[in-house]
């Protein structure tokens, strides 16, 4: 049995056990399913993350909201749809992908899919950066209405992270025009030396981005990532 099939089988065992017997601790689940606790911990955290299980206050696990939605035939929530598109872009590009939410003149990373490559960009959940520094932020700038964009530029100076960071209003406005024209933003080592980012806005608040070491960024990758990002943005808009 392959490891992927074994994981799928164990996942079903966990869900069936809790569905039959009710909420249980990790130790009780391990005892009932005979799944090693080292493997069980990863499976439980994944099921909680995907909303198939929920972790109760007394360290027990119960069936999550995804079960109810599935039984009722409900459509995925907006958060689930964004998460699904994030994973799809990460799988397509093979690079680190992030989901951001706008917080005033910053963006916050709320979900991340890390690349499996040894040389990769490794952001952290909760990380906040100014809109102008990341491709995901610049994509949101390009979505702003003219009055909101004027208010953003009037808010004050912008931090220069690297020699490539665009901080001048005129430069940024030209970049915003280019972003709107091609449909996605690019940050060429503008926040982190050696890292190129590409980003799209899912709506006025959320954006998706791909971060790739500059050594792996070329025309072919840009075309691949642009297609994946634009398809994700369209799927979320639909």
Which pairing describes strands 206-213 and 60-63: parallel, antiparallel, or unpaired? unpaired
What are the respective helix, strand and coil percentages of the chain, to the nearest 5? 50, 20, 30
At residue 53, the 3 state secondary structure works out as strand
Boundary of a domain, candidates 53, 72, 91? 72
Do 220 and 137 share a structural domain?
A: yes
Same domain, 106 and 45: no
The two three-digit tokens of residue 104, written as one number: 């005033």
Coil vs helix vs strand at 163: coil
Mean of all residue pLDDT scores within the chain? 91
pLDDT at site 182: 96
**Residues in the chain with pLDDT values less than 50:** none
Query: Which residues constitute the domain of residue 18?
Result: 3-72
Would you list the DSSP string of 178-193?
Answer: HHHHHSSEEEESSSST
pLDDT at 220: 97
Q: Burial of 125 by CB count in 10 Å (0-12 exposed, 13-18 middle, 19+ buried)?
A: exposed
pLDDT at res. 72? 63
My answer on whether 30 and 83 are in the same domain is no
Which of 72, 91, 111 finishes a domain? 72
- Do 171 and 212 share a domain, yes or no? yes
pLDDT tens digits, one per residue of 85-129 = 998 999 899 999 999 999 999 999 999 999 989 999 999 999 999
Q: In this structure, are 61 and 84 located in the same domain?
A: no
Is the full-model pTM beyond 0.75? Answer: no
User: What is the pLDDT at residue 8?
Assistant: 86
The enclosing domain of 48 has a CATH number of 1.10.10.10
The reply to whether 155 and 220 lie within a common domain is yes
pLDDT of residue 1: 52
Task: Output the DSSP codes for 106-155.
Answer: EEEEEEEE--SSSS-----TT-EEETTTSHHHHHHHTTS-HHHHHHHHHT
Residues 183-206 have pLDDT tens digits of 999 999 999 999 999 999 999 999
**Do 83 and 49 lie in a common domain?**
no
Q: Are residues 164 and 109 in the same domain?
A: yes
């Amino acid at each position: 049995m392959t490891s992927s099939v074994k994981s799928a089988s164990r996942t079903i065992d966990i869900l069936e056990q809790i569905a039959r017997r009710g909420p249980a601790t990790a130790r009780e689940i391990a005892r009932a399913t005979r799944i090693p606790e080292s493997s069980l911990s990863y499976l439980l955290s994944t099921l909680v993350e995907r909303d198939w299980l929920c972790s109760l206050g007394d360290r027990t696990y119960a069936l999550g909201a995804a079960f109810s939605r599935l039984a009722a035939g409900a459509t995925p929530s907006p958060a689930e749809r964004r998460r699904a598109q994030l994973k799809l872009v990460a799988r397509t590009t093979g690079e680190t992908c992030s989901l951001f939410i706008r917080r005033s003149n910053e963006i916050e990373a709320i979900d991340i899919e890390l690349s499996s490559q040894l040389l990769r960009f490794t952001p952290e959940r909760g990380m906040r950066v100014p809109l102008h520094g990341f491709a995901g932020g610049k994509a949101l700038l390009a979505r702003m209405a003219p009055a909101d964009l004027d208010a953003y530029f009037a808010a004050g100076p912008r931090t220069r992270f690297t020699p490539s960071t665009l901080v001048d209003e005129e430069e940024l406005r030209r970049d915003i025009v280019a972003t709107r024209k091609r449909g996605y933003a690019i940050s060429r080592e503008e926040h982190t030396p050696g890292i190129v980012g590409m980003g799209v806005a899912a709506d006025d608040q959320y954006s998706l981005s791909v971060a790739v070491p500059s050594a792996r960024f070329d025309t072919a990758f840009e075309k691949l990532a642009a297609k994946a990002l634009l398809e994700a943005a369209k799927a979320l808009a639909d």
